Structure 1
Amino acid sequence: MLAITVETTVVNVALPTLNTALDATTTHLQWIVDAYNLAFAALVLAGGGIGDRYGRRPVLVVGLALFAATNVAAALSAGAGALIAWRVLMGAASALVYPTTLAILTDTYRDRRARAAVIGAWGAVGGLGVAVGPVLGGYLLEHYSWSSVFVALVPAAVASAVLAWYLVPDSRAEHRPRLDIAGLVLSILFLGTLVYTIIEAPTRGWTAPVTLGGFAASAVLGTLFVSAELRHPEPLIDVSLFMNPRFSAASGAVTVAFFGLFGFIFLITLFFQLVQGQTPLTTGVRVLPVAVSIALGSIVGTRLVVAALGTKAVVTLGLVMLSGAFAWAATIGADIHYGEVAAQMVLLGTGLGLTTAPATESIMGAVRPQQAGAGSALNDATRQVGGTLGVAVLGSIYTTLYLRAMDGSPIAAQLSPDTRAITREGVAQGLAVAHAAPGPASAAIRDAAISGFLDGLHVGCLTAASVCLLGAVAVALLLPARPTASPAAENISRPLLVGD
């Protein structure tokens, strides 16, 4: 869990470095982040099913081995395109690892209190990964090349694979389901088309025929996917699970929370380095408050659910805190004091922990033991889909407003076509052009670049705040306060507890 979570966040602090080292545009940077998330999200459902069918421990070990191999290959990439391709395969490897971790835990701990405790710990390790990733990446970038952020994860993956083989108990579903190939293909096409359309929309135009066609194709593919899953005897996603509000509302809460988190981390790491001039290491250290808060919020959240408040109250509170944190972050200025940003991140991280750990416990409590892998995969998919869309949507909002600012700058309009094209590639390139420009033109181009970035950051954060607030309303209306006490009702919706 730690290795996979670090992989998700370690690349963020390297984005400005990759911007120049690989001549990557803003679109490239979004794909470097989202190629991993997209493959992870699209394949994690299959990964959970493969673990249920062939055994969770061997699938965990194979996934870790593939994860190590793809990190080595990514470190050897000669360009942005090659790195994006290896990130896709890295996401596929992670899709084998991630669902098996939670499936093994929930299969081992059947009692609800014990299960809530270990899921809280699982969520806390996720928070620790959010902390370790940026700090580790920052340290490595200050002392070594960008490829070191991938090489550093190889020993951890290999050690985890060896230890898992000897220490982790194996488990699998009693009935071995067939792999739903049609559902897998349609889910990849649906998510891939949707994310690709969102990321490319700022440069192609949000109302351009190709963009509108992409959204239409996404809607058709999504409909075909749901239809195929309803007809398949052993579907990739058991759509009937979403009829259980304990499952569907909790899944929606996780999706919304990670939508905001991933989009915010993508933007705030660029802000620290490009706007405030921080190094990769100091940027990683500055992200620590959100990570530590996630870990603490995860532990406290599951305890509050079991001991006193119930799932509905805790998850709703977490989403309201997330909404408030993003609304506060929408006030960030270029010269803001770090203490204020740290306070925003503490509120954000605590809200995320209160949301995701109790919601995850609710999701896993709504599936039968033989569905542990599929349930874990669905929980992981909600995280990755939310995070992928967060980077795509908030990144595209930032790109759209940055391009508007550069196109509206009278000084930028006087640059040569080639130089103006460079400024449009991203804020790092815009600031580089400003640095090389003479006299007053330098300050004007820099002001336009910074203003465009901040406009994108503000509108992106307000978007995340609105999404989280809508999520809080939905959870308050739909999520049960506690699991039903009726054994008959719960027999089809949760694992058997010790003593049943």
Structure 2
Amino acid sequence: MKKNQTGFWFVVITTSLAFVVSQLDVSIVNVAVPQIGKSFSANISTLQWIVDAYTIAFAVLMLSAGGMSDLLGSRRLFQIGILIFGIASVGCGLACNARSLIGFRALQGIGSATMIPSSLSILSNNFSNEPKLKARAIAYWTAGGAISIAAGPVVGGLLVNMSSWRIIFLVNIPICLAGFFLSIYLTDSVKSKSKGFDIPGQLIWMLALTVFIAAMIEWHTLGPTSPIIYGGISFSILMLIMFIWRERVAKAPILPLDLFNSRNFNVFIGLGMSLNWIYYGLVFVLSLYLQQVLHYTAFQTGLAFLPLTGGFLISNLMSGYLMDRYGIRVPILIGSVVFAAGCICLLAAKTETPYWHLLFPFFGLPFGMGVAVPAMTTGTLATVTAGRSGIASAVLNTTRQAAGAVDVAVFGTMASGGTNQIVSAITVIAIIAAVYMLFYALLIYKTLQELNHYK
């Protein structure tokens, strides 16, 4: 490591603090939803928006945050983001009604969208001349976020039992303060030479993604024949077409379309979307399965998800070792195949399935994802120059968040209607997901054979 660079572990731990709190708040809220509903006499639709306001804001603003990271410097944007997230967490913890909670959840999403691309850009630039250290740093950074999202239901259950639902937000404050003050000593990223900011492009993108996700969320309540649903989907498609046109002509696009000229970049983005598309939707449905089919309590459900934490922890650390030894292709292939095997084993989920029959999929899904994602992230950043690492990170995380948010809505609709419908949905999803991931593994094997320079 260069003498003028901050220590390896200091950089990893500081940037990981942001990823940990942002990912923790994706899943920790689910356990507290019943208590929040009682506190505010909120209906199901309102509770959905409390959960999803965060994800939507996260996804729609991350592209802009990635470009701003490259333009202004990643350290400055990291500090702004973690302060916003901390202030929003205070607001969530002190919210006096459901509307204010939804608003502060959206503000949390804005903070996360700002923190994540800038934190990954800091990692990438600090170790840009040392590929092995860079791969290892990304593996540890990914592990922190993956473990936190898997541990969210367990931590949420413990905190809610100890106090009230408000503590799940207030616990973020010391983490945010630590991240802000430690980041003062970080090395800043290489700034892009590009000047300007595409405000029309950001607004169009925000409309396209927000309206589409909102239509997916309300699909179950209003039905596909509702003018609001098909009108919203049609409008979002029109906005997406306008967005692509805008990015082609903008002088400083928030999404440089030339990124997609790289076949390898497209493969990595597709893999990230696929893993999130399947994993987050399955975890949502499995939570329904454990509580409504096997009749677990919320806390028992959280404990049942503990293998996810172990799977992510072991696999993320293993991914760093595999990348050091074999490059990125081997861990991506191993992760994709194990992930597909976990999906196949979910076919064991029936109305009276013993929990131990589900141990492999509960461990194998996060294990496969955890092995593949650090290598996928390393490969994505390797396809761009140092000055574009922020936008590359933003594209990767935006597509992953959007895929996960949409699929929770789709899989949730498939699983609505009672015990048999939930079991049937898991069966159908498991088969489709396993076949798809095996196909993608073959695509990866063929496409990534030329990636020896990423070793």
Common fold: TM-score over 0.5: yes
Cα deviation, residue 103, structure 1: 0.3
Provide the residue aligned with 1:114 in structure 2. Answer: 133
1:414-466 superposed Cα distances (whole Å, 9 cap, x missing partner): xxxxxxxxxxxxxxxxxxxxxxxxxxxxxxxxxxx433444444445455445
Cα deviation, residue 243, structure 1: 1.6
Counterparts in 2 of 1:458 and 1:69: CA distance versus 1, 3 Å: farther
* 1:171 aligned counterpart, secondary structure: coil
Alpha carbons 1:293, 1:353 under 8 Å: kept: yes
Q: Please point out which of 247, 253, 261 is paired with 2:265.
A: 247
Alignment of 1:312-391 (within 5 A): 312-391=329-408
Alpha carbons 1:45, 1:377 under 8 Å: kept: yes
Provide the residue aligned with 1:91 in structure 2. Answer: 109
Partner Cα distance (1:452, 1:80) in 2:
30
Alignment of 1:163-242 (within 5 A): 163-165=182-184, 167-242=185-260
Partner Cα distance (1:80, 1:469) in 2:
43
Provide the residue aligned with 1:408 in structure 2. Answer: none
Provide the residue aligned with 1:397 in structure 2. Answer: 414
Partner Cα distance (1:331, 1:313) in 2:
29
Q: TM-score, normalised by structure 1?
A: 0.80
Provide the residue aligned with 1:407 in structure 2. Answer: none
* 2:448 aligned counterpart, secondary structure: coil
Moved more, 378-387 or 91-100: 378-387
Alpha carbons 2:334, 2:371 under 8 Å: kept: yes
Q: TM-score, normalised by structure 2?
A: 0.88
- Which structure 2 residue ranges, 5 or more long, are not aligned? 1-18
Cα deviation, residue 340, structure 1: 2.2
1:319-338 superposed Cα distances (whole Å, 9 cap, x missing partner): 33323323432442343222
Q: Please point out which of 80, 90, 95 is paired with 1:62.
A: 80
* 2:415 aligned counterpart, secondary structure: helix
User: What is the one-letter code of the residue matched to 1:30?
Assistant: Q
Q: Please point out which of 118, 124, 128 is paired with 2:147.
A: 128
Provide the residue aligned with 1:430 in structure 2. Answer: none
Moved more, 467-476 or 145-154: 467-476
Partner Cα distance (1:259, 1:333) in 2:
23
Provide the residue aligned with 1:162 in structure 2. Answer: 181
Alpha carbons 1:47, 1:377 under 8 Å: kept: yes
Cα deviation, residue 67, structure 1: 0.6
Cα deviation, residue 53, structure 1: 2.0
Cα deviation, residue 181, structure 1: 1.0
Counterparts in 2 of 1:468 and 1:125: CA distance versus 1, 3 Å: same
1:79-120 superposed Cα distances (whole Å, 9 cap, x missing partner): 444322221111011111111111000001112222111111
Q: Does 1:282 align with 2:295?
A: no
Q: Please point out which of 161, 165, 168 is paired with 1:142.
A: 161
Provide the residue aligned with 2:441 in structure 1. Answer: 472
* 1:269 aligned counterpart, secondary structure: helix
1:237-257 superposed Cα distances (whole Å, 9 cap, x missing partner): 111111211111101101111
Partner Cα distance (1:19, 1:269) in 2:
18
Alignment of 1:74-89 (within 5 A): 74-89=92-107
* 1:333 aligned counterpart, secondary structure: coil
Alpha carbons 2:322, 2:330 under 8 Å: kept: no
Provide the residue aligned with 1:424 in structure 2. Answer: none
Moved more, 70-79 or 103-112: 70-79
Alpha carbons 1:3, 1:156 under 8 Å: kept: yes
Cα deviation, residue 52, structure 1: 1.9
Q: Please point out which of 419, 438, 443 is paired with 1:450.
A: 419
* 2:367 aligned counterpart, secondary structure: helix
Cα deviation, residue 59, structure 1: 1.6
Partner Cα distance (2:432, 2:35) in 1:
27
Cα deviation, residue 268, structure 1: 2.5
Alpha carbons 2:332, 2:372 under 8 Å: kept: yes
Cα deviation, residue 482, structure 1: 4.2
Cα deviation, residue 303, structure 1: 3.3
Counterparts in 2 of 1:164 and 1:278: CA distance versus 1, 3 Å: farther
Provide the residue aligned with 1:416 in structure 2. Answer: none
Alpha carbons 1:67, 1:90 under 8 Å: kept: yes
Q: Does 1:481 align with 2:443?
A: no
Alpha carbons 1:16, 1:273 under 8 Å: kept: no
Cα deviation, residue 208, structure 1: 3.6
Provide the residue aligned with 2:20 in structure 1. Answer: 2
Q: Does 1:31 align with 2:33?
A: no
* 1:11 aligned counterpart, secondary structure: helix
Q: Which has the larger radius of gyration?
A: 1
- Which structure 1 residue ranges, 5 or more long, are not aligned? 403-448, 486-493
Alpha carbons 1:297, 1:353 under 8 Å: kept: yes
Counterparts in 2 of 1:312 and 1:136: CA distance versus 1, 3 Å: same
Provide the residue aligned with 2:3 in structure 1. Answer: none
Partner Cα distance (1:89, 1:124) in 2:
25
Partner Cα distance (1:18, 1:321) in 2:
37
Alpha carbons 1:16, 1:270 under 8 Å: kept: no
1:473-495 superposed Cα distances (whole Å, 9 cap, x missing partner): 54345x3234365xxxxxxxx9x
User: What is the one-letter code of the residue matched to 1:389?
Assistant: V
Alpha carbons 1:57, 1:170 under 8 Å: kept: yes
Alpha carbons 1:250, 1:363 under 8 Å: kept: yes
User: What is the one-letter code of the residue matched to 1:115?
Assistant: K
RMSD: 2.5
Provide the residue aligned with 2:11 in structure 1. Answer: none
Alpha carbons 1:30, 1:391 under 8 Å: kept: no
User: What is the one-letter code of the residue matched to 1:146?
Assistant: W
* 2:195 aligned counterpart, secondary structure: coil
Provide the residue aligned with 1:427 in structure 2. Answer: none
* 1:481 aligned counterpart, secondary structure: helix
